[in-house]
Amino acid sequence: MRLRFRRLIRSLILGSATSAAALGCVSKGAYDGLAAERESLQRERDQLLQRVELLNIERDSLEVQFVEAQESYEDERVVRQTLSSNLSRIQQRAETLDQDLGAERMAHLEAASALAAREAEISAMQSTYDELVSDLESEVSSGQIEIERLREGLRLNVSDDVLFASGSAELDAVGREVLEKVAGRIAELKDFVEVRGHTDDRGIRGALAKRYPSNWELAAARAARVVRLLEARGVPGERLAVVSLGPNEPIVENDSVTNRARNRRIEIRLLPREGMAEELAAVSAPNSATSPPAPVEPAPSASSAP
């Protein structure tokens, strides 16, 4: 644009000079007029050049501002995309937290409900414990029966001498009466009932060995007989289990007649249902035998029987 303007001015000046030359001699007034006109044109040219220069400066400034605006827009676009992505992740995280919070709240409610139910069971267990101690006061006082509160549940140790005749897996009258008292109390509960048979360490001898080849069989038969009575007196069969431990868990050394008599016993455990599987697994391996209740016929008497 500046170049075109200069060419225009030059053409005007040359045109004036050519016209003057063509006209030949001119008057002084005409010459002064032309000179004044030329000076005016030059001033206009200088003003136009200054204006063009200012416009060029303004254009350069606008170009710089445009580039900066483009860069700023790109930065803002990147920031906006990042914020949008972050917002999406935050929303997803918030939804996940809401779900987790809801699940945790439900778990707390279920735990509180289970705790309340278990507290009610423990209260019932305490009542059963007190009632059993009262019902079996004479047997407890004489040491024939031991009733113990466990961390969860109850344990009753009953001497075989109270329940069975020597060499037999059939309950005698006293043993039946004791177990009927026990059955009347535990039938009201919901806990699992595990009946464990224990013997001393003496081997089975004589005619009794034909019926019970080892202490395993004798302990299992006696425990099964107790379970049969409990079931007959109202304890549901699905809450009952028979465990034979034979001579493997003595409570005292088998070094006297009195101690061997203490080791020959029936142990009745009341266990929470949720802990029943772990308890059975612990006593069933590696040296115990678990068997379902089975009919047991009276065994012949033998003075050598445990």
Total domains in the chain come to 1
The predicted model scores a pTM of: 0.54
Contact 164, 222 (CB under 8 A): yes
Could you tell me if residue 110 is inside a domain? no
Could you tell me if residue 9 is inside a domain? no
Model confidence at 128, pLDDT cuts 50, 70, 90, reads confident
Could you tell me if residue 253 is inside a domain? yes
Could you tell me if residue 146 is inside a domain? yes
**Spatial distance between the Cα atoms of 200 and 254, rounded to a whole number of angstroms:** 7
What's the pLDDT tens digit per position in 204-244? 888 888 889 999 999 999 999 999 999 999 999 999 999 99
What's the pLDDT tens digit per position in 57-78? 989 889 888 888 888 888 888 8
Average pLDDT of span 156-160: 88
Asked if pLDDT for residue 52 goes beyond 70, the answer is: yes
Could you tell me if residue 237 is inside a domain? yes
Could you tell me if residue 116 is inside a domain? no
* Full domain range(s) for residue 174: 124-291
Model confidence at 1, pLDDT cuts 50, 70, 90, reads low
What's the pLDDT tens digit per position in 185-210? 888 888 899 999 999 999 888 888 88
Could you tell me if residue 198 is inside a domain? yes
Residue written as tokens 């001497």?
159
- Give the domain CATH number at 250: 3.30.1330.60
Asked if pLDDT for residue 300 goes beyond 70, the answer is: no
Could you tell me if residue 28 is inside a domain? no
